[in-house]
Amino acid sequence: MTFTHPDILFSFPFVKSGTGDFQADDFLMDWKKTFKANPYMNVYEWSQAQDAGGKQPNINAFECLQITRKLQMKPFESDRKVLLLWMPEYLGKESNRLLKILEEPPADTYIILVAEDTERLLPTIMSRCQLFKIKEMDQEGVKTVLTSFFHKNNEEAQMASYLANGNMIEALSLFNENNLEKNDIFVEWLRLCYSFQHIEIIKWVDHFATYTREVQKYILKFGIHFVKEMIKIKYNFGKNEINLPEKMVDIASKLCPLLSFESIEELIQILDREIYLTERNCNAKMQLMYTSGHIHRLFQGKRFLA
């Protein structure tokens, strides 16, 4: 794919790199390069590729004027013209500038809006569009893309596809900052909670607090997955039904007798609450010390819901 046909146009959000008027064409080469490397990229990854420095990308007024101008021109090689507008959510108030051309596009002109969250689009935009929803991929489909296109190993692809539950973007995000290599961190925490080694738990909590919030959330999400797989083991599911690396199946099997079904269920609720608090910038060290004690009590057969 070269994306060079003169009658196929692209527009997308971008971060201005200086003063003056900028349009998507000024960043088109970089956008195509990033897209080819990862056809499932999101706006965050595109911003990183732009080295946006934390600035929010958008589709500005000047870009809207350029879209209108280009669509009013006759096709060069084909008998029709196509505009692909990626992430129209970032039009914001500038959406109104495109209302007329969306309602009455030039003859043989097709305008395709590719959005992730249609609720962020103005109702006046939505009313002028025909909506097509693309279903999420199944787990096997995600795994196939991860192994064949992104060359991930089979075990990591299997884990990522299961945790992402059909969301390709989320599956890829699990490879950011080597997240999938951090699964052992959660298992180590469970061991420490069982033995309740105070000094080691403090060290673990201090180390956990050094991770970014997204990495912390990943570790806790993996924890929920790990604990749910323990339920399968208790119900004597076959090994082929357990979605964990082989070494962790053995660990989960050893931990299972130490927790009742009710305690496992409560542990899932604890971890879910921990993610909720992490998203709200709770004091990680204080909360995790409390939670470590809570989990230890579960291992001792003492259940309570805070």
In the chain, what is the straight-line distance between the N-terminal and C-terminal CA atoms, in Å? 55
Q: What is the pLDDT along the chain (306 residues), one digit of tens a residue?
A: 678 899 999 999 999 877 889 999 999 999 999 999 999 988 888 988 888 777 889 999 999 999 999 999 999 999 999 999 999 999 988 999 999 999 999 999 999 999 999 999 999 999 999 999 988 889 899 999 999 999 998 888 888 888 887 788 888 888 876 787 888 999 999 999 999 988 999 999 999 999 988 889 889 989 999 999 999 888 888 777 788 877 888 889 888 889 988 999 999 999 999 999 988 888 889 989 999 999 999 998 865 444
Tokens of 137: 């991929």
pLDDT at position 206 is: 95
Nearest to 265 by CA among 305, 222, 218, 220: 305
How far apart CA 122 and CA 60 sit, in angstroms, is 16
How far apart CA 67 and CA 205 sit, in angstroms, is 52
Indicate the angle between helix axes 284-299 and 183-195, nearest 10 degrees.
60
pLDDT at position 114 is: 96
Q: What whole-number percentage of the chain has pLDDT above 90?
A: 56
By CB atoms closer than 10 A (0-12, 13-18, 19+), residue 127 is: exposed
CA-CA-CA-CA torsion sign (286, 291, 297, 299) = negative
CB 12 within 8 A of CB 87: yes
pLDDT at position 147 is: 94
CA-CA-CA-CA torsion sign (192, 158, 147, 139) = negative
As a whole number, the mean pLDDT across the chain is 89
pLDDT at position 304 is: 46
pLDDT at position 305 is: 43
